[in-house]
A and B are shown apart, each in its own frame.
Chain A
Amino acid sequence: MTVRTLDETLREHPFFEGVGEEVVALLAGCARNVHFRPDELVFQEGQPADFFYLIKEGRVAIQLHEVAGGASIIDTVDAGEVLGFSWLVPPYRWVFDARATVDTRAVGFDAVCLRTKCDADPAVGYVLLSRVARTMHERLEAARVRLVDLYGTRTR
């Protein structure tokens, strides 16, 4: 069995594609491997947003509680994608629930540690935030398209 260092794991993740080794090594200092069992909550609405996750294996469902009870899955995050933006924006609280739907392995970054390093070195902050912004842009675009009743329009 091959044991990978956190640096290696991060460099293999699409989120860090093209990022210099020094920056990866610096951010790896905030990271640790985490594991979630099926149905385990990764985070909960209203709780402090103290982590940022890179998903390595598995799937996490982002859920919205409904007034009438129950929950709907509004998005899923799979291997190779990232989970969580609320750690970036005050008041640093999660606005949705996230739950592993299958056995899921991820790298979790301590949010305070990340923010501190970004504040201390704006160049590192720019590298990180430009990648987060790209993902946010993709999700926003997808969310806007989904506002249309996309699949209700075609008849044949």
Chain B
Amino acid sequence: MTEVLSAERSQAVDAMLPRSFRVERTRRDTRDTFTLELAPVGGDPLRFAAGQFTMLLAAGVGEVPISISGDPSGGGLLEHTIRNVGSVTRALVATPRGGVLGVRGPFGTGWEVERGEGGDVVLVAGGIGLAPLRPALLQVVRNRERYNRVLLLYGARTPEDILFAPDLERWERDHDVEVAVTVDNGPHDWRGRVGLVTRLVPRAGFDPSRTTAYVCGPEVMMRSTALALRDRGVRADRIRLSMERNMKCGVGLCGHCQLRELFLCVDGPVLGFDRLEPLMSRWEL
């Protein structure tokens, strides 16, 4: 018993120690969003599952939870896409090429994209929610023959806020992904859709009886989307959402990310709508 406790404690301690990663490149995606490409300073590349997150540390400033936005197949640089909205994210984005950041993790549950094999896959993203979904889509297109129809429904604030535009074109052109983009506000010369991303769900061409859906974005948008998917006939346990809470320790000890009986850093962030629905409809949680 003592040995088991000791092993658990040892794992928890390891998880609290950041590894050093060097900034190889910082890519500006939109006016306030950047992707950092990181290489380990010694040791193996970080292995992770699509949908997991890490704690990124800017020394002397602080640590924030950031979803991994790169390819989970391994070997490449570790990618994180970050909105530059606070002191820590500002410091992360400002770290020059060659600068060193701390990385803890990866933490939490993944999208489990394999669940969608043999059927249709619908990914619904709102705003920067496309970043945590990107590894899932990269995994799907890498194994495209295992899936039937693949749809990406994506909502952004304005055309200028559309993330990964080159990826969207490539996935549609080269990988038979049906991409539908909508924005909240469009300038006069915008030719695309304007409106909530949830409005794309009722007429999207998937077979609800064999669909697995992956949804990431603001909580209001995820709830509306999950309800729209369920109205179409997609089973609640096949609708997977990525919840955002104030993750701190990453190992289910500190309680900052508690959602009733769940610690989202270990039980989540990705969970089925069958478990989340009763929690998402209670404002006091």
Contacts and interface: CB of A to CB of B under 8 A. Distances in A.
Interface string A71-82: 111111010100
Contacts of B89: 155
The CB with the most chain B CB atoms within 10 A, among A80, A142, A151, is that of A151
Interface residues of A, number: 29
Nearest to B186: A73
A101 B188 CA distance: 10
A152 B199 contact: no
A73 B132 contact: no
A56 interface: no
A83 interface: no
Contact of B157 (A78, A80, A151, A156): A151
Contacts of A153: 218-219
Interface in A24-70: 59, 61-63, 70
B193 A78 contact: yes
Contacts of A88: none
B190 interface: yes
A156 B131 contact: yes
A90 to B, nearest CB: 27
A119 B236 CA distance: 43
B184 A146 contact: yes
Contacts of B67: 156
Contacts of B282: none
B128 interface: yes
A153 B218 CA distance: 6
Contacts of A61: 186, 190, 194
Contacts of A59: 191, 193
A73 B188 contact: yes
B218 A151 contact: yes
A150 interface: yes
Nearest to B53: A156
B185 interface: yes
Given A151-B218, A156-B244, A138 B126 contact: no
B196 interface: yes
B83 A73 contact: no
A154 interface: yes
A150 B244 contact: no
Interface string B187-221: 11011111110110001000000000000011111
Contacts of B193: 59, 76, 78
Interface in B243-259: 244
Given A61-B194, A142-B199, A151-B218, A72 B187 contact: yes
A78 B188 CA distance: 17
Contacts of A71: 188
Interface of A: 14, 59, 61-63, 70-76, 78, 80, 101-102, 138, 142, 145-146, 148-156
Given A142-B199, A156-B128, 8 more contacts: A61-B194, A70-B188, A73-B194, A150-B127, A150-B220, A151-B155, A152-B127, A153-B219
10 contacts: A61-B194, A63-B188, A73-B194, A138-B199, A150-B155, A150-B218, A151-B161, A151-B184, A154-B217, A154-B218
